A = this chain, B = another copy of it.
C-alpha cells in the first residue's frame, strides 16, 4: 500500500524520458504538425490526455526535444575540444567533427528532430531555439578563430564560409544512409581530409 516516494519519483522521471524519446523519434520521422499527441501517447502506452500530467502542452514537449537535440551535440563537442591538444588546432577541429557526427547519429533522434523540424515549428519556439543554435555556433566560431590565429588556416579564407561548410557537410549526413561499413568516425575523418587537405590534386 505504502509507496516509496523515491521510487515514485524515479518512475515518473522514467516515463518523462520515455515520452521525450518517443517524441524525438516521431518528430524526426514525421515532422512537427504530423506528430500528434495521440501518436506520442499511443507509443508510450497511455491516453492522449495523460500527457498533460507530464507536460503543459505539445509545444513545451517539442521545444524540450529540439533544444536537447542541440545540447547533446554541443556537450559532446565541447568535451572533445577540451581533451584535444591545445597546440594542435587542426587536430582539435578533427576531433570536434568526429564528436559532432557521432552525436548526431547516437543521440536518439533528438538532433535529427531539431534539424528536420526547426524551420516548421511555431515562431516563438523557433526564436528561443535560435539562441540555443547560436550558442553552439559560438563554439565553432571560437575554435576556427583559434586555428586561424595560430596560422593553421590558409590565408584569406573566410571563416564564416568555412564554419557553414563544416556544419552543412556534417548535418547533411542525416539525409542519406551511411555507406556500408563506414562508421561515423571514419565518415568524419574523410570529411576533414576533404575540407582541410583539399579535394584538388596538388602538384
Contacts and interface: CB of A to CB of B under 8 A. Distances in A.
B31 A120 contact: yes
B167 A172 contact: yes
Copies of this chain: 2
Contacts of A162: 194, 199
A146 interface: no
Interface in A145-165: 151-155, 157-158, 160-162, 164-165
Interface of A is mostly: helix
A35 B116 CA distance: 16
Given A34-B120, A168-B171, A199 B196 contact: yes
A195 to B, nearest CB: 5
Nearest to A36: B33
Contacts of A41: none
Given A32-B33, A116-B120, A119-B31, A165 B202 contact: no
The 10 A-B pairs with the shortest beta carbon distances in the complex, nearest first, are A198-B198, A168-B172, A31-B120, A33-B33, A196-B200, A33-B34, A161-B190, A168-B169, A168-B168, A165-B169
